[in-house]
Homo-oligomer: A and B are copies of this chain.
Amino acid sequence: MTSSNETVSREIQLAARPQGAPKDSDFTLVERQLGQPGEGEVLVRNLFLTVDPYMRGRMNDVKSYTPPFALNETMTGGAVGEVITSNADGLKAGDLVLHDAGWRTHALIPAKTARKVDLLPSISPSAYLGILGMPGLTAYAGLLEVAAFKEGDVVFVSGAAGAVGSVVGQIARLKGAGRVIGSAGSADKVAHLTEKLGFDTAFNYKDGPVSTLLKEAAPDGIDVYFDNVGGDHLEAALFAFNPFGRAALCGAISQYNATEPASAPRNLALAIGKQLTLKGFIVSSYSHLSAQFAKEVGGWIASGELHYDETVVEGIENMPGAFMGLLDGKNTGKMVVKL
């Protein structure tokens, strides 16, 4: 049935819903024949695919802000690719596009679901999956709007070496934070935070109780906590908060693979007397900041004031491993899959 008009896409499907940490057998690599684009469609060869922590939630069969992935269907997620064939106005072969048909090498999609991106000089297309994309906007909106950061605030960010956390800490520094504190899961990452990203101090959360480590790092307390981790980290932040502290609740990676309810934080009642605000958010509610974000963050990248890292895994067949590694903290900065 294969003809010269058909393209073979290699795709990752969810074979089983992970129980706890995902494992190889939860994923399958399949091949699919894609035809030519119909009216209004484009055929895209993907260049970079993203793996993000939130995808772990979509692997469970529970209602959330995004529907769960279906079993035995190709998963979705951010991707940057090049248009090979276009049957739509506004896009032509060779255009670089950002779209949501990830977890696959090729995508046949309605043109209206793809956004053309104009590559900035010396920037990899993968940046649109990270610093200039969803994780970057998450950091920007979460710190500045959700946590209502103001100059002089002492800021603590967990998952600080990750795609979001590393940007949060740097934006806080660029915006005049009193002090920027990060936590990460290895000595190398901790060194990277202070030596390369300009964090004032950082600690490896595996070195002791997080609340003890945070108290040492922030003896005068914290004003803002950007939470990517949940659990013990959030508990430590509640202990460390100054009055009127604000937490942006962005992620809870410590719990994504959990099979039991989280036992922490156990000190949420501290929020009363300290008059804290804890605010959960998802980035899609902050698209009104997109233009301001692109301008400000783009400027910091161009000037070299904002640094970003990528951990690049090559090959679609290694994408499940990249995702599992992400949940295990194997990345520094944005984890992407290069095809």
Chain A residues in the interface with B (C-beta under 8 A):
57, 64-65, 230, 234, 243, 249-252, 255, 261-263, 265-282, 285
27 contacts between A and B (CB under 8 A): A57-B273, A64-B273, A65-B243, A65-B274, A65-B275, A249-B268, A249-B269, A249-B272, A261-B267, A262-B267, A263-B263, A263-B266, A265-B268, A268-B278, A271-B278, A271-B279, A271-B280, A272-B280, A272-B281, A272-B282, A273-B280, A274-B280, A275-B279, A275-B281, A275-B282, A276-B280, A277-B277
Known: A275-B282, A277-B277, A285-B275. A262 touches B269 (CB 8 A): yes
Known: A234-B268, A267-B262. A277 touches B275 (CB 8 A): no
Q: DSSP class of A's interface residues: helix, strand, loop or mixed?
A: loop
Known: A263-B263, A277-B277. A269 touches B282 (CB 8 A): no
Chain B residues with CB under 8 Å of A251's CB are 272
Q: Which 5 A-B pairs have the closest CB atoms?
A: A271-B280, A261-B266, A252-B269, A272-B280, A278-B278
Chain B residues with CB under 8 Å of A270's CB are 280
Could you tell me the distance between the alpha carbons of A230 and B265 in the complex, rounded to whole angstroms? 13
